[in-house]
A and B are shown apart, each in its own frame.
Chain A
Amino acid sequence: MYQYDRKGPKRGIALYSYSAEYGITKNLEDCFEDMYDMGAHGMEILANTHIENYPYPSDAWIENWFRLLEKYEIIPVEYGHWIDSHVLGFRDLTTEESYEMLARDIRLANRLGFTVMRTKMPVISGELEPVKNWREIIKMALPLAEECNVRMCPEIHAPTNLSHKLVRDYVEFIEQTGTKYFGLNIDFSVFRNVFDANDKRRGGFTPSKPEEIIPLLPYIYCCHAKFNNMNDDFEETTIPYKEIVDILKEHQWDGYMVSEYEGADKYDPGYEVGQTLRKHHIMLKRYLGD
């Protein structure tokens, strides 16, 4: 398998970014080639989107997966998946059933070479609190995650910020269990400090300061390099990127920042998200000295 030896923060891409074009004008190999053009070596997939015949891919598909990784010099970094406890409309899954769903993804992530999972928790309220039994589900999965060498990481995303109770709960769980197989994925939306006057996403949200990430670094196994607006000088205008990247470099955080473009304009006719991602990677290359 292809190896990428760079230490510290590294560049990658979340294939989620291609969702408006995927299956319509772009296939999986097109995404790989776009990343290769950018020299972005770390990939995040969404299991339920990018794995053919998920959750039971064929051996031929897996063989092709490894061929693509080799050909385009890609490291399978993060496996995006969901604990879909509300998958049935008439009752919630039990802790054991939720675990079974999670265990299936842990095994598949490992089979495809991933070492981090973006584990999306099911929620129970408008404040996006996770299900009450999340600790039981995760605890049950820790031995398998260790055996498969994957780290389950819920994503911390605005309107949740880094000082939110949810982050404290996750950190407390990590400290109490002492586990290295459950951690955090920080989405850079938590640092967004510039909003349009009429942007509803601002409502009640207090942006985290870049330095608030420092105490969490030992628990962070991947970051979503969320970006909203790249200008033609290759600067992101809504998130203090330079400061964030400098902190990650200075603290020798060793992991991937996977670019994730969530702007609704990516669904506009003729929009090519690859060009937007390229702008972002010009910026990241400059900031990283890559």
Chain B
Amino acid sequence: MLEKEVIQSIGFRNIIENDEVVGFQFKVRLPYYRGIFLSQLRPGTLCVDDMRFEREDLVWNINGKDHTYEEMKSDMETHWAVTDPAVIKVRLKGGLKQGFHDLTLGFCFTSSYMPPIMQDALDPDKENVIFMPEFGHHVNKRRLLIV
């Protein structure tokens, strides 16, 4: 089972490779009532405290496989389920220091049954004018601890 918050508390940690801290990762769930193919995803920006990471800097691990922003644009085969969180991985030498961190991540997704004019205006880093709970918020924030 998942936490109700989009950014999950479990899964937030530094990434260690060959005894070296090379970055950090955390999990997000899809706040929609159905799963999506990766080409429907519109990834946005991640802010951690005063650091900013562009969508091109983020790796989305879905179903155990890493995906870059470029790769996801044309991937209409890989499906992200509402019950399986994605792992967001970020390269950052030394990782995040022990203590609290303020995470802000923007993302949204398209739907073929919505008017195309609404789809073209989607901005992952900005909320829709009208909030519809079954599409979730575009921008999600959470303050979490790294140990």
Chain A: residues with CB nearer than 8 A to chain B?
16, 19-20, 22-25, 27, 46, 48-49, 52-55, 82-90, 120-126, 128, 264, 267, 269
- The count of A-to-B residue pairs whose CB atoms sit within 8 angstroms is 91
Please classify the interface of chain A as helix (H, G, I), strand (E, B), loop, or mixed, using the class held by over half of its residues: loop
Smallest CB gap from A86: residue in B? B112
Q: Are B134 and A87 in contact (CB under 8 A)?
A: no
Residues of B at under 8 Å CB distance from A? Answer: 1-4, 29, 33-37, 39-40, 42, 63, 73-74, 76, 79, 81-83, 110, 112-117, 119, 132-134
Find out whether the CB atom of A46 lies under 8 angstroms from the CB atom of B33: yes
Given A19-B33, A87-B112, A89-B73, A54 and B81 contact (CB-CB distance below 8 Å): yes
Known: A22-B82, A123-B116. 12 other contacts (CB 8 A): A20-B133, A20-B134, A23-B1, A24-B3, A25-B1, A54-B81, A84-B40, A85-B112, A88-B74, A123-B114, A123-B115, A264-B133
Report B-chain residues with C-beta under 8 Å of the C-beta of A23: 1-2, 29, 82-83
**How distant is the Cα of A290 from the Cα of B69 in the complex, in angstroms?**
53
User: A52 to B81, alpha carbons, bound, how many Å?
Assistant: 8
Output the least CB separation between B77 and chain A (Å): 9
Contact of A49 among B37, B82, B117, B119 (CB under 8 A): B82
Question: Residues of B contacting A264 with CB < 8 Å?
Answer: 132-134
Neighbouring B residues of A53 by C-beta, 8 Å: 63, 79, 81
**Are A49 and B110 interface neighbours, CB within 8 A?**
no
CA–CA, A55 to B39, complex, Å?
Answer: 15
Residues of B within 8 A of A49 (CB): 33-35, 81-82
Q: Which residue on B lies nearest to A19, using beta carbons?
A: B33
A127 to chain B, nearest CB (A): 8
Q: How far is the CB of A82 from chain B (nearest CB, A)?
A: 6
Known interface pairs A19-B134, A87-B112; A54-B35 also in contact (CB < 8 Å): yes
A86 and B79 form a contact (CB under 8 A): no
Residues of A within 8 A of B76 (CB): 84, 87-88
Known contacts A46-B33, A84-B37: A52-B83 contact under CB 8 Å: yes
Q: Would A122 and B35 count as touching, CB distance under 8 A?
A: no
Report how far A196 CA is from B115 CA in the complex, Å: 25
Contact of B34 (CB < 8 Å), options: A46, A55, A121, A126: A46
- Asked whether, in the complex, the Cβ of A48 is within 8 Å of the Cβ of B83, the reply is no
Partner of A83, one of B3, B112, B116: B112
Across-interface contacts of B73 in A (CB, < 8 A): 88-90
Q: What is the bound-complex CA distance between A88 and B29, given in angstroms?
A: 22
- Are the C-beta atoms of A120 and B113 separated by less than 8 Å? yes
* A-B contact list, 11 entries, CB within 8 Å: A23-B29, A23-B83, A48-B36, A49-B82, A52-B83, A53-B63, A53-B79, A84-B37, A85-B112, A123-B114, A128-B115
Tell me, in angstroms, the Cα distance from A20 to B2 when the chains sit together: 12
Contacts of A20 in B (CB 8 A): 133-134
Contact of A267 among B37, B74, B83, B133 (CB under 8 A): B133
Query: Do B82 and A82 have beta carbons less than 8 Å apart?
Result: no
Q: Are B134 and A267 in contact (CB under 8 A)?
A: yes
Partner of A126, one of B83, B112, B117, B133: B117
Q: When chains A and B are docked, how far (Å) is the Cα of A83 from the Cα of B113?
A: 9
- Once the chains bind, are A88 and B115 in contact (CB under 8 Å)? no
Contact between chains at B116 and A86 (CB < 8 Å): yes
Name the distance in Å between A271's Cβ and chain B's nearest Cβ: 11
Indicate if the CB atoms of B39 and A88 lie closer than 8 Å: yes
Q: Which residue on B lies nearest to A15, using beta carbons? A: B33
Q: A24-B1, A88-B74 are in contact. Are A48 and B39 (CB under 8 A)?
A: no
| Residue in chain A with minimal CB distance to B115 | A126
